[in-house]
């Protein structure tokens, strides 16, 4: 059967951190704050896939209290989830995601992000769709205090 899952994440932008989105380092005066590399896009995608296979969320599998994930590249979460999918005999069909950020500009980096995410998940990049929007200057995202991401994933599961 085909199953779908949704993911959402948000991280605060702070000085003194690299800005990693979709596994790609984006030149920006601020980066995302978090236990791992705080890659908000990959976290939303991870939650979407975990949702599709009924496996809870990223906090259950990769708790921020675990020193293994301290400053970890979020690609490792996708690799672990890929193994979970294989263990269940499930196949990821596609990912669609939206990044909501006032700054930095995300779309110029989308092709590199797509290939990074697709590579980690063993997907064809054509099946990883990325979109980006601003928050039209409103709220915490509009004030560039943080970046949010939404993702959906569909999975063919036995």
- Footprint of Mg ion (CB under 5 A): 9, 43
Q: Quick check: helix, strand or coil at residue 156?
A: strand
- If the CB atoms of residues 33 and 93 are measured against Mg ion, the closer one turns out to be 33
- Find the helix packing angle between 75-88 and 40-52, rounded to 10°: 10
In this structure, are residues 50 and 56 in contact, taking their beta carbons and an 8 Å threshold?
yes
What are the two backbone dihedrals, phi and then psi, of residue 78, each rounded to the nearest 5 degrees? -65, -40
- If the CB atoms of residues 55 and 156 are measured against Mg ion, the closer one turns out to be 55
CA distance 54 to 23: 25
For the bound state, the minimum distance from the C-beta of residue 98 to Mg ion, rounded and expressed in Å, comes to 16
For the bound state, the minimum distance from the C-beta of residue 40 to Mg ion, rounded and expressed in Å, comes to 6
For the bound state, the minimum distance from the C-beta of residue 82 to Mg ion, rounded and expressed in Å, comes to 18
Q: Which of 2, 1, 6 is nearest to 96 (CA)?
A: 6
Total number of residues shown for the chain: 158
- If the CB atoms of residues 59 and 111 are measured against Mg ion, the closer one turns out to be 59
For the bound state, the minimum distance from the C-beta of residue 64 to Mg ion, rounded and expressed in Å, comes to 8
For the bound state, the minimum distance from the C-beta of residue 151 to Mg ion, rounded and expressed in Å, comes to 12
The residue nearest Mg ion at its CB is 43
In this structure, are residues 44 and 151 in contact, taking their beta carbons and an 8 Å threshold?
yes
- If the CB atoms of residues 65 and 87 are measured against Mg ion, the closer one turns out to be 65
In this structure, are residues 21 and 41 in contact, taking their beta carbons and an 8 Å threshold?
yes
In DSSP terms, 7 is beta-bridged to: 151
- If the CB atoms of residues 9 and 102 are measured against Mg ion, the closer one turns out to be 9
């Amino acid at each position: 059967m085909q199953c779908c899952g949704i993911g959402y994440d948000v991280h605060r932008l702070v000085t003194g951190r690299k800005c990693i989105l979709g596994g790609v380092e984006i030149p920006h005066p601020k980066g995302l704050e978090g236990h791992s590399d705080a890659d908000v896009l990959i976290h939303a995608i991870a939650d979407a896939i975990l949702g599709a296979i009924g496996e809870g969320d990223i906090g259950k599998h990769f708790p921020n209290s675990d020193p293994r994930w301290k400053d970890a590249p979020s690609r490792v979460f996708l690799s672990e989830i890929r193994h979970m999918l294989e263990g269940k005999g499930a196949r990821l069909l596609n990912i669609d995601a939206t990044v909501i950020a006032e700054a930095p500009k995300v779309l110029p980096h989308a092709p590199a992000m797509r290939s990074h995410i697709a590579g980690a998940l063993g997907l064809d990049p054509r099946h990883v769709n990325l979109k980006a929007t601003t928050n039209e200057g409103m709220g915490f995202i509009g004030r560039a205090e943080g970046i949010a991401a939404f993702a959906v994933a569909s999975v063919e599961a036995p």
